[in-house]
Chain A
Amino acid sequence: MVSNRSDWRAEHEDILREVGNIGAGHAASALSALLGEEVKISVTSARMCAFNEIADAVGGDEVVAAGIYLRMTGDVHGNMLLMLSLPSAKQLLRRLLPGQQETLEFNELEISALAEVGNILGGSYMNAIGTLTHLTLTQSVPAVAIDMAAAILDIGILSAGEVCDEAILIDTVISQGKFDVQGHFFLLPDPDSLTTLLCALGWCT
């Protein structure tokens, strides 16, 4: 068990990072097209992360953030979460919905626009994985929550939580030139789908 885990750390994190890189590339170009501005990818990392540390990636347990959740089904099952800080979400909305009056709250139109961003980014991510692996993947309708980061992340780590105390994070920070919209993209394959995913990437055991 222990050796399996360390093998996983040593080798498979590299593959997942590669998946992350390609997915992030697709997502960035889709977002660039959506905003009419060049979007850059500043960091991508893939790692195993204890549940307790996940929220730190987005600034702490109780920091209020916007979360967009997509469920991935098909050959590989998993959860996808795009997390945006509130200023980043507002910045993005300023570009997406010009002329809207700025409020602290998020109205229905803004929530729907954020869901669409999640849809596009999630879709790009999944297409990248699908193309790379020849797996058939589909995504659910996006769902949006504006709340404490840790509370939003609960849902992402749940299915991983059935069998282990850590989650796989493919964490992508996307920033948009002078507008500096940053988001973390979390891809959390279900544990029983991880083998399928790694095998499709050429790492059959």
Chain B
Amino acid sequence: MNDALRQEAELVRKIGIAEGGVARAPMRLRTSGLGSCVGVVLYDATAAVAGLVHVMLPTSPVGATNVTKYADVGVPWLFEQVMKIGGKRDFIRAKIAGGAQMFASAGQSDILRVGPRNVEAVNHALNQLGVPVVAADVGGNVGRTIEFDIATGRLSVRTAMRGTYYI
């Protein structure tokens, strides 16, 4: 790897499925291959801090240990984490993406509808915290890779078939 590539890689913090993390500008936060999962970005533009969580399921069962897997506990967890590194409650905003129904043709089972249910749960959790959602690219039947640039507040959404766009 040459220096330019290494520098580039060091600026991106990758968040895996059912994981979450926070960072400061000039870092970027990235998670790839969101299907029915939802990527939730919480950021405070004035403090230049942000967090990203990649939740899989809407609600946590009793005794769940991995909070970053579930929308209902993962979103409040991320909110706390962003405040811990300097985010101010009143300035925190949300951008969300994902929650697709990858297999549109077989909509009969609850499992296949988990995408829309995830989005609902994320919105509900954000609402409870009083965090406004300023941009969302959810639903449909496409996979998404997202990358949040903390310095600019832009969220790039890359899809397999429809290219990359920003929200």
Q: A62 near B111 (CB under 8 angstroms)?
A: no
Q: Do A163 and B61 contact each other (CB < 8 Å), given the known contacts A52-B17, A148-B32, A148-B160?
A: yes
Q: A150 near B33 (CB under 8 angstroms)?
A: yes
A52–B68 alpha-carbon span in the complex (Å): 14
Q: B36 near A143 (CB under 8 angstroms)?
A: no
Contact partner of B105 among A55, A79, A144, A147, CB < 8 A? A144
Residues on B with beta carbons closer than 8 Å to the beta carbon of A55 = 33
Q: A69 near B100 (CB under 8 angstroms)?
A: no
Q: B56 near A161 (CB under 8 angstroms)?
A: yes
Q: Do A69 and B143 contact each other (CB < 8 Å), given the known contacts A140-B109, A151-B33?
A: no
Q: B105 near A149 (CB under 8 angstroms)?
A: no
Contact partner of B33 among A79, A149, A161, CB < 8 A? A149
Contact partner of A141 among B100, B106, B114, B158, CB < 8 A? B106
Residues of B within 8 A of A (CB): 16-19, 32-37, 56-57, 61, 66, 69, 100, 102-106, 108-109, 111-112, 114, 141-145, 158, 160-161
Q: A151 near B17 (CB under 8 angstroms)?
A: no
Contact partner of A153 among B35, B69, B100, CB < 8 A? B35
Which residues of A143-173 are within 8 A (CB) of B?
A: 143-155, 157-159, 161-163, 165
CB distance from B13 to the nearest CB of A (A): 15
Does A184 count as interface, using CB distance less than 8 angstroms?
A: no
Q: B106 near A143 (CB under 8 angstroms)?
A: yes
Q: B145 near A71 (CB under 8 angstroms)?
A: no
A interface residue count range (under 10 / 10 to 19 / 20 to 34 / 35 or more) = 20 to 34
Q: A154 near B106 (CB under 8 angstroms)?
A: no
Residues on B with beta carbons closer than 8 Å to the beta carbon of A157 = 56
The DSSP consensus for interface residues of chain B is loop
Q: Do A150 and B143 contact each other (CB < 8 Å), given the known contacts A69-B103, A145-B103?
A: yes
Q: Do A147 and B17 contact each other (CB < 8 Å), given the known contacts A141-B106, A154-B35, A161-B69?
A: no
6 closest residue pairs by CB, A with B: A150-B33, A151-B143, A151-B35, A154-B35, A143-B103, A143-B106
A23–B104 alpha-carbon span in the complex (Å): 27
CB distance from A68 to the nearest CB of B (A): 9
Residues on B with beta carbons closer than 8 Å to the beta carbon of A162 = 57, 61
Q: A155 near B145 (CB under 8 angstroms)?
A: no
> Which B-chain residue is minimally distant from A81 (CB atoms)?
B103
A113–B144 alpha-carbon span in the complex (Å): 26
CB distance from B94 to the nearest CB of A (A): 21
A–B pairs, 9, beta carbons within 8 Å = A67-B102, A140-B108, A141-B106, A148-B145, A151-B34, A151-B100, A153-B33, A154-B102, A158-B114
A51–B145 alpha-carbon span in the complex (Å): 16
Q: A62 near B112 (CB under 8 angstroms)?
A: no
Q: A147 near B18 (CB under 8 angstroms)?
A: no
> Which A-chain residue is minimally distant from B141 (CB atoms)?
A145
Q: A165 near B32 (CB under 8 angstroms)?
A: no
> Which B-chain residue is minimally distant from A190 (CB atoms)?
B111
> Which B-chain residue is minimally distant from A148 (CB atoms)?
B143
Q: A71 near B109 (CB under 8 angstroms)?
A: yes
Residues on A with beta carbons closer than 8 Å to the beta carbon of B160 = 62, 64, 146-148, 151
Which residues of A126-149 are within 8 A (CB) of B?
A: 140-149
CB distance from B163 to the nearest CB of A (A): 13
